[in-house]
Structure 1
Amino acid sequence: MANEQKARVGFIGCGRHSGLRLYPGLAEAGLELIAVCDQDEQKAQQRATQYSTPHFYTDWRAMCSEHQLDAVLVVTGPQGHYELGKQLLEQGLHVFTEKPASATTAQAEELVQVAQATGRHMQIGFNYRYSMGVERAMKMIEAGRFATPATVSVRWYLGEPDTRRFMQHYVCHALDLLHYVTPGGLTHLDPERELHMEYHRQDNFDWYVLTMRSQQNSIAVLELGAHMSGEGHHARIDFMSGDGLLSVDDFTQVTHYETAPWGDLRKEGSKTYDGDRVWRTEPLLMRGSIWHTYGYVNELTRFREAIQGLRTPEATVAEAAWGMHVMDRLAKQAARE
Structure 2
Amino acid sequence: MSFKIGWVGCGRHATQMLLPQLAPNNVTLAAVCDVNPLAAQAAATHYGVSAVYNDYRQLLEHPGLHAIGMAVGPELHQTIAIAALQRGLPVFIEKPPGGSAKAAREIAATAHRAGVPAYVGFMKRYSTGNKIAGNILRSGDFGPILGFQGNYLTAPGYFSGAVDYSSFYLHHCVHYMDLMPWLVGAEISDLQARAFEHQPGRLLAHLNMTFANGALGTLVMGTVQSRGTPMENITVMGDHQRIEVNNVINVAWHRDPPFKAEDDAARLDNSCDTLCWSPNFTAAANEDHKGYHALLRDVFRGMKGKSSQAPTIEDGAQAMLNLERMIVAIEQQLHNPSLSH
Fold match by TM threshold 0.5 = yes
| 2:123 paired residue among 123, 127, 130 | 127
Contact 2:299 2:308 in 1 (8 A): no
Equivalence for 1:182: 184
Pairwise mapping of residues 6-85 of structure 1 onto structure 2 (< 5 A)? 7-85=3-81
CA distance in 2, matches of 1:27, 1:238: 35
Contact 2:149 2:235 in 1 (8 A): yes
Equivalence for 2:191: 196
CA distance in 2, matches of 1:91, 1:122: 13
TM-score with structure 1 length normalisation? 0.83
Local SS of the residue matching 2:82:
helix
CA distance in 1, matches of 2:191, 2:255: 30
CA distance in 2, matches of 1:174, 1:292: 20
Residues 57-83 of structure 1: CA distance to partner in whole angstroms, max 9, x if unpaired?
223333332322221001111121111
Alpha-carbon offset, residue 168 of structure 1: 0.9
Contact 1:159 1:170 in 2 (8 A): no
Q: Quick one: which amino acid aligns to residue 235 of structure 1? A: E
Local SS of the residue matching 1:149:
coil
Equivalence for 2:160: none
Alpha-carbon offset, residue 27 of structure 1: 1.2
Contact 1:146 1:243 in 2 (8 A): no
CA distance in 2, matches of 1:220, 1:311: 31
Q: Verify: 1:242 aligned to 2:239, yes or no.
A: yes
The change in CA–CA distance for 1:149 and 1:120 in structure 2 (over 3 A counts) is: same
Task: Among all aligned residue pairs of Structure 1 and Structure 2, give the percentage whose two residues are the same amino acid.
Answer: 23
CA distance in 1, matches of 2:228, 2:89: 37
Alpha-carbon offset, residue 292 of structure 1: 1.1
Residues 167-206 of structure 1: CA distance to partner in whole angstroms, max 9, x if unpaired?
11111011111022112x31xx5xxxx3031312142313
Equivalence for 1:164: 166
Contact 1:182 1:220 in 2 (8 A): no
- Where structure 1 has 5 or more consecutive residues not aligned to the other structure, the ranges are none
Alpha-carbon offset, residue 121 of structure 1: 1.6
| 2:105 paired residue among 103, 106, 109 | 109
CA distance in 2, matches of 1:331, 1:288: 40
Equivalence for 2:204: 206
The change in CA–CA distance for 1:105 and 1:141 in structure 2 (over 3 A counts) is: closer
| 1:258 paired residue among 240, 255, 259 | 255
Q: Quick one: which amino acid aligns to residue 34 of structure 2? A: D
Residues 132-186 of structure 1: CA distance to partner in whole angstroms, max 9, x if unpaired?
1112222333445544533233332225374322211111011111022112x31
Q: Verify: 1:228 aligned to 2:230, yes or no.
A: no
Alpha-carbon offset, residue 6 of structure 1: 5.2
The change in CA–CA distance for 1:256 and 1:68 in structure 2 (over 3 A counts) is: same
Alpha-carbon offset, residue 274 of structure 1: 6.8
Q: Quick one: which amino acid aligns to residue 165 of structure 2? A: T
CA distance in 1, matches of 2:73, 2:114: 23
Q: Quick one: which amino acid aligns to residue 260 of structure 1? A: P
The change in CA–CA distance for 1:140 and 1:75 in structure 2 (over 3 A counts) is: same
How many residues matched? 317
The change in CA–CA distance for 1:220 and 1:38 in structure 2 (over 3 A counts) is: same
Alpha-carbon offset, residue 282 of structure 1: 6.7
CA distance in 2, matches of 1:333, 1:153: 18
Contact 1:178 1:222 in 2 (8 A): no
Alpha-carbon offset, residue 31 of structure 1: 2.1
Superposed CA RMSD? 2.8
Local SS of the residue matching 1:39:
coil
Local SS of the residue matching 2:20:
helix
CA distance in 2, matches of 1:152, 1:334: 19
TM-score with structure 2 length normalisation? 0.83
Alpha-carbon offset, residue 43 of structure 1: 2.6
| 1:335 paired residue among 311, 324, 331 | 331
The change in CA–CA distance for 1:121 and 1:202 in structure 2 (over 3 A counts) is: same
